[in-house]
Structure 1
C-alpha cells in the first residue's frame, strides 16, 4: 500500500544518525487506511512504531557536546549560573503536542532530542516563587520574570532562562496509560462511567530516569547588580522546584522530577 511519505525521506530518516525528532513528528512511515472510515491511522501499530526509537540512545554525542559547551561558555560570559540535573523519574515534556500517536514529546529542532524549552523553565520557577516561597514579594516576582502580559505591555524580566539540553544521547522508554471509561472522558454529559466500558491502553514516549540535562540562567544585564541578585534568587529556587514540583507533563503522578548531578557539576 502507498504510504504518505516519499521514499527518499524514509531512507534518510531511518538512518542511524538521523534526526529522530523530525522522524517522530513529521515522517511516520507506518500509516494504514482505516477499513471503515478511509482515513490514515496507526491503529495498533503505535507501540511498535515508538519501540523503534526506545531501543537505543537518541541523539548524536558530538553534536550534543558541542551544543552544551556553547551554552556553558555563553552563560559563563554572561555571568550566569549552570545547573546539571538528572532525572530521578520518567520525564515527559510537551505531551500535549500534536502527534501521530496522540501524545507528543518536545523535540529539539536541530539536535533531534527531547528537551525543556527556556519558556517552560521560566514557568516552573515562576510557579515555585509564587506558590512556595513566602519570603518573595509580587513586585520581586514581576521584576525577575516580567509582569503578567495581560496586565502590562512589557513582559521582559531581569533574568534570561535558557533551554535545558541533555548532555548526552537520551534513553527513551514507553509507558502506557489506560483510561477505563474512555466514552465518559470524551463527553461526561452523555452519561456516567459504567463497568462495561472497555479499557483503552494508550502508549506514549517518555525520557527515562537517569538522564542528565543542563539548565542555565543569566542576568539580562550582566553589569546590573539588581539582575545579578535576581539570578542568585532563581538559582536557589531551581533545584528545589525541579525536585518538588517537577517539569513536563504528569507531574502529579511523580513524573518530571530532577536531582543535582554531582558527576557533572
Structure 2
C-alpha cells in the first residue's frame, strides 16, 4: 500500500468509502482516515523490507548525523497541493513521511538568524558564519541539508487523525473580488459554529538527519557540528511544518550515530 497514492489518486473502496466520495462529503473524512490508517498498519509489513533496503542505500558511504524523534505531532505539507482539503507530505514512491532537506535548512537558517543571532552577530543573516553555513544569493553554503528519512520500525504506527475547528468559515471564505465589487460580506460573530476539519498527522516518528559538505574535508567538521547544533535547537524549540505556533512539529535528538 502506498499511502500517498491512496490519499491522492485511489479509485478503490476502503470500507465502503472512496476518495471521490470524501471529496464530495467531507463529513466522512474522519472515518475514511481511520480506515486508511488501519489498512496501512495491516499492510506495512509487506512493504517494510523494500523500504529498509531503500534506507540502507540512502545512507550508504556516509555518516548519518543523528536520530531525532517527534515529541509532538508533525504536519508537513499541510497546505500543499492535493485533492483533500488538508495535505500531508509523503514520499511519492514509498508513501512514507519524511523531513525534506529544504525545510530543514529553512528552519535552521531562520533559527540562526532570529534566535541565536540576537547574541551572536555572526549568525545573523549576512553574518560571516551564517553565510558560510547557509550561503548567499551569489554562492552556496558549505552545508548540505539532505532529506531525513523515517526509520522503518516507526512507520507502522506513524499516523494519527487530528482535528481543527476553525470558526467564521463563511467570513474567511469570502473572495477579494466580491469585496472589490461592493458585494455584501457576512460579518464574523461570536456565535458562529465551529467547522471540524479532520487531517492526518505524523506521531512517534524517528528520523535520521543527514548533513554533509561537498568536499568532506576534516577542517569542515566544526562547521558540520555547528550546523547540527543549530538544527537540533530549531527542531526542538521552533518546530518544523505547519501549526508550530500551536506546539506541533517539535523533534528532539534521540540517539547519536557512532
Distance across 1 between alignment mates of 2:20 and 2:144: 45
Q: Secondary structure at the match of 1:73?
A: coil
Residue in structure 1 matched with residue 233 of structure 2 by the alignment: 240
* Per-residue CA distance 1:195-218 (angstroms, 9 max, x = gap): 34332110000002x221111101
* Deviation at residue 229 of structure 1 after TM alignment: 2.8
* Deviation at residue 63 of structure 1 after TM alignment: 2.8
Residue in structure 2 matched with residue 7 of structure 1 by the alignment: none
* Deviation at residue 238 of structure 1 after TM alignment: 2.1
Aligned partners of 2:65 and 2:256 also within 8 Å: no
**Which stretch of the first structure deviates more once superposed, 25-34 or 175-184?**
25-34
* Deviation at residue 222 of structure 1 after TM alignment: 0.9
Structure with the bigger percentage of helix: 2
Distance change (3 Å), C-alpha of 1:204 and 1:28: farther
> Which structure's relative contact order is higher, taking Cα pairs within 8 Å and 6+ residues apart?
2
Residue in structure 2 matched with residue 173 of structure 1 by the alignment: 160
Distance across 1 between alignment mates of 2:114 and 2:9: 38
1:220 to 214, 237, 241: 214
1:89 to 61, 72, 77: 72
Residue in structure 2 matched with residue 199 of structure 1 by the alignment: 194
Residue in structure 2 matched with residue 258 of structure 1 by the alignment: 251
Deviation >3 Å, runs of 4+: 31-34, 56-59, 262-265
Q: Which structure 2 residue ranges, 5 or more long, are not aligned?
A: 13-17, 180-184
Residue in structure 2 matched with residue 64 of structure 1 by the alignment: 51
Distance across 2 between alignment mates of 1:221 and 1:264: 21
Superposition TM-score, scaled by structure 1 size? 0.78
2:85 is equivalent to residue 102 of structure 1 = yes
1:47 to 30, 36, 48: 30
Aligned residues: 232
**Which stretch of the first structure deviates more once superposed, 60-69 or 81-90?**
60-69
Q: Which structure 1 residue ranges, 5 or more long, are not aligned?
A: 1-17, 35-39
Residue in structure 1 matched with residue 182 of structure 2 by the alignment: none
